[in-house]
């Protein structure tokens, strides 16, 4: 295990914001990016946290591959729909506004959808879906992404890991928050096994011939090989995960007119990504009193958690539960960042004139 340092949430937020501002991001935008990014670390989704500040964002801003001012605009709208051009800016900024807009429209029209084209990596999908919770709405957030997943019977990566996030409010329990890639695992998980020099489980990835492989070196971003869609092989119904990935691609790219599949750029590479997003808010109260809905969500969660456990297991989890528990712990004890990331923050910060001088909580 890597050594972990813990920092105060507000320190990390301030650093991430300052970093963004230094690279030309307006203050109010930088606040949004920082909040989405650090929320990932707080919830324990460290793959989407401050670890990405340079490779996914800083790097692209420095290279002028994306516009730090995120000049997003509304292309067209109705009482229930909005189509945005993300202005090749920070995905977080247009996404935050798009989801806010959905919530605002759903207060009047009960349902609203926004799609965004010409955007970039937007951090954790769940952040935007969860924005609906405070308004007692159901939130949905989808995005396409760079091609890493092979279709069933294919052998090259043509589909993104295209995540689905769905959030529903509860009463006394944690809200239900699904936030999942439509591949079995993300590419970073394969890399972890490569670094540990361990085999990957059969069904996570395929090699250059399209055969299931247990060798992590044969499953790389940009090839060789590819990730497998949720389910894995066809006998395990991997074509369902493949279908879900394409559903996300349709709702994001085809409904917005953005780039699709292999047209989508890699966030660490010097070209326009043209990532597309989809957001939806549903006003629960249009169907039934919110409190009744929330109590039913609680009852469902209780029923699931109290159902009999498999031998050797003592707990059944609900989507989002672990992340809410992580957040509770990390808000209190500090947000964990592994040492190699801290070192990278220090060296990159020095080079860019944004020194990372936070003191870890001892």
Window 280-309: residues binding a second copy (CB under 8 A): 282-284, 286-288, 292-293, 296-297, 299-300, 303-304, 307-309
Element (H, E) at 335: strand 335-338
Among 5, 23, 244, 335, binds a second copy (CB under 8 A): 244
Number of residues that bind a second copy (CB under 8 A): 87
Binding flag, residue 316, a second copy (CB under 8 A)? yes
What DSSP line would sit under 262-274, residue for residue?
GGSPPTTSSS---
Shortest spacing between CB 299 and a second copy, in angstroms: 7
| Closer of 17 and 152 to a second copy (Cβ) | 152
Segment contacting a second copy by CB under 8 A, of 16-24, 29-37, 279-287, 348-356: 279-287
* Residue 294: partners with Cβ closer than 8 Å, 6 or more residues away: 136, 169, 170, 171
Nearest approach in angstroms of CB 35 to a second copy is: 25
Q: Which residue lies nearer to a second copy by CB, 178 or 352?
A: 178
What's the min distance (Å) between Cβ of 118 and a second copy?
Answer: 13
Between the alpha carbon of residue 6 and those of residues 16, 18, 169, 347, the distances in Å are: 15, 19, 30, 18
Binding of residue 125 to a second copy (CB under 8 A):
no
Name beta bridge partners: 165. Answer: 141, 179
Alpha carbon distance 246, 235 (integer Å)? 19
Q: Which of 73, 78, 188, 331 binds a second copy (CB under 8 A)?
A: 78
* Contact indicator for 68, 61 with CB cutoff of 8 Å: yes
By CB under 8 A, is residue 264 in contact with a second copy?
Answer: no
- Rounded distance, CA 114 to CA 122, Å? 15
Residue among 66 and 228 whose Cβ is closer to a second copy: 228
Q: Which of 91, 232, 336, 349 is close enough to bind a second copy by CB under 8 A? A: 232
Question: Residue 221 interacts with a second copy (CB under 8 A)?
Answer: no
The one segment of 15-23, 61-69, 231-239, 265-273 that binds a second copy by CB under 8 A: 231-239
Give the x-and-dash track for 159-198 against a second copy (CB under 8 A).
Answer: x----x-x-x-------x-x-x---xx-------------
CA proximity to 68, closest of 77, 56, 60, 78: 60
Residues 6+ apart with CB under 8 A from 109: 79, 80
Tell me how long the chain is. Answer: 362
Instruction: Judge whether 72 and 97 are in contact, CB under 8 Å.
Output: yes
Is residue 13 part of the contact set for a second copy (CB under 8 A)? no
Residue 15 contacts a second copy per CB under 8 A: no
Residues 102-121 that bind a second copy (CB under 8 A): 109-113, 115
For the bound state, the minimum distance from the C-beta of residue 226 to a second copy, rounded and expressed in Å, comes to 10
Q: How far is CA 135 from CA 44, 141, 285, 342, 352, in A?
A: 24, 16, 10, 36, 40
């Amino acid at each position: 295990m890597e050594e972990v340092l813990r920092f105060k949430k507000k320190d990390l937020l301030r650093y991430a914001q300052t970093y963004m501002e230094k690279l030309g991001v307006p203050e109010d935008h930088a606040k949004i990016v920082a909040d989405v990014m650090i929320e990932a670390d707080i919830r324990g989704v460290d793959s989407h946290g401050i670890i990405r500040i340079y490779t996914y964002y800083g790097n692209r801003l420095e290279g002028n591959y994306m516009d730090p001012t995120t000049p997003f605009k509304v292309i067209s709208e109705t009482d229930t729909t909005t189509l945005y051009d993300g202005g090749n800016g920070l995905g977080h900024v247009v996404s935050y506004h798009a989801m806010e807009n959905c919530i605002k429209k759903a207060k009047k029209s009960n349902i609203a959808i926004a799609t965004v084209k010409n955007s970039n990596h937007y951090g954790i999908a769940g952040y935007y879906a969860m924005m609906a919770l405070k308004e007692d709405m159901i939130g949905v957030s989808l995005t396409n992404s760079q091609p890493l997943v092979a279709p069933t019977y294919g052998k090259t990566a043509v589909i993104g890991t295209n995540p689905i996030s769905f959030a529903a409010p509860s009463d006394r329990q944690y809200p239900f928050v699904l936030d999942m890639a439509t591949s079995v695992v993300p590419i970073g998980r394969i890399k972890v096994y490569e670094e540990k020099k361990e085999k990957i489980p059969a069904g996570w990835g395929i090699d250059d011939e399209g055969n299931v492989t247990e060798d992590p070196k044969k499953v790389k971003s940009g090839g060789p090989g590819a990730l497998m869609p949720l389910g894995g092989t066809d006998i395990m119904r991997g074509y369902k995960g493949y279908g879900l990935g394409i559903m996300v691609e349709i709702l994001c790219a085809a409904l917005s007119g953005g780039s699709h599949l292999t047209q989508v750029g890699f966030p660490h590479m010097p070209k326009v990504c043209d990532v597309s997003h989809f957001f939806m808010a549903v006003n629960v109260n249009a169907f039934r009193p919110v409190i009744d809905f929330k109590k039913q969500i609680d009852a469902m969660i209780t029923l699931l958690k109290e159902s009999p456990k498999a031998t050797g297991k003592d707990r059944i989890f609900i989507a989002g539960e672990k992340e809410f528990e992580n957040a509770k712990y990390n808000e209190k004890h500090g947000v964990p960042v592994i040492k190699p990331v801290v070192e990278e923050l220090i060296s990159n910060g020095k080079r860019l004139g944004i020194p990372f001088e936070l003191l870890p909580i001892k």
